[in-house]
Structures are given as structure tokens and as C-alpha cells.
Amino acid sequence: MTEVFECFNAIFRYCSIPSNHLAPSRDIAHQLAAQETLKHILSGGWWATKAGIWTRPGPSVRNFISTDPVLQTLIGWARKDAFAEPGKHNLPYFCVCF
């Protein structure tokens, strides 16, 4: 479980690179918000424009994300082969068997 959170430290370090280090917490929060916004848009989410009109990305963007496994991994989508077949069990890689 610790490895998952330690991997997230790399994201924090990446977010602090473009910072001027005068307000690093604010800069990291802005960068993470921008990443989540992009993730929301790429996954087909809706958002309100400044005019108050709800819009979403076009079908070509939504189709591209559904067919590109690299982009799916980058935004955190689970791969289809990550799930076990019904009736079967896969041990996680961190399981220690005695």
C-alpha cells in the first residue's frame, strides 16, 4: 500500500518543476487541477462555458481515448485485461505466500 503513495510523490515532484517556488503548494494545486481538468475532458465529461452553455468534447476525442491504451494508462483507466474472469482469482503482485 505504501508503494502506491510513494509513486504519487513523483507526481508532486513533477508538479513543482515549473514552479517559481514562492508558493509551491499553490503551484502544485494549480498543476494538479489542470491535470484533472484534462482528464475530465478526455474522458468525455461535460463542462459549462463562460456563456453558461454545457458542452463536451467531440466524438473523435471520445473515440480516441477509448482506443489508445497509452493514454488510458496515463489518465488512470483500468485495462480490460486487468480484471479476472468470473470464477478465477489472480493473486496480486504484492502478495507474500508462506
pLDDT block averages, 10 residues each, the chain of length 98? 68 73 82 86 88 92 82 72 62 48
Residues 6+ apart with CB under 8 A from 16: 24, 27, 28
Contact 35, 76 (CB under 8 A): no
Identify the pLDDT of residue 98: 42
Identify the pLDDT of residue 80: 60
CA distance 39 to 57: 12
Identify the pLDDT of residue 54: 95
Name the pTM for this structure.
0.59
Check residue 86 and report its DSSP letter. T
CA distance 43 to 72: 9
Residues 6+ apart with CB under 8 A from 54: 46, 47, 48
Identify the pLDDT of residue 69: 79
Identify the pLDDT of residue 95: 44
